[in-house]
Amino acid sequence: MTANPTLVSDLDVAKKWLDITITRFVDNMRQLRIQDTGALMASFKQQVVGSAEGRLQLTLSYALYGKFVDMGVGRGMGAGVTKKDDGYDRIRKTRGQLRRHTRKPRNWYSREMSYQTKRLSELMLDLYGQVLITTATDVPGETTINF
């Protein structure tokens, strides 16, 4: 059984893309000073899985609270705390705003992910365009192309 040469190439592109994306995310976090404990930066995990049909599956995971930092929400109180509870006045004003911290979005994820997703689609388009051209020109007669 021979390995599909385009699958190896796809895997290489996907792994490099994931490495670059994680590096850019960490750089964005450092630039925006989102490194209180470093746990969010250390939580990135990546996986690329190739199947026998030539399909790729990319997985990029990180700590959930990183999404809340990006949106500027979720800071201050535990789940289920209401105005009737002790300590509510200590943390929040009468209108519900936090006393110490102001919430503001720090976009380390949303802009970069949309850019990187577009970039991955361009890379795969170039790769499959080159494969399609070489397959169509190299094989005389009938040509079957599987993606």
pLDDT in tens, 8-36: 577 888 889 899 999 999 999 999 888 77
pLDDT at 108: 87
* Percent of the chain surpassing pLDDT 90: 12
Question: Which single residue is written with the structure tokens 């494969």?
Answer: 131
Q: Which residues of 89-112 are buried (b: 16+ CB within 10 A; e: fewer)?
A: eeebeeeeeeeeeeeeebebbeeb
- CA nearest 46: which of 56, 32, 60? 60
Instruction: Check whether 133 has a pLDDT greater than 90.
Output: no
User: What is the Cα–Cα distance from 25 to 43, expressed in whole angstroms?
Assistant: 12
pLDDT at 24: 94
Instruction: Check whether 78 has a pLDDT greater than 70.
Output: no
**Is the backbone of residue 89 left (phi > 0), alpha (psi -120 to 50) or beta?**
alpha
**Phi, psi dihedral angles at 60 (to 5 degrees):** -125, 120
Task: Give the predicted TM-score (pTM) of the model.
Answer: 0.66
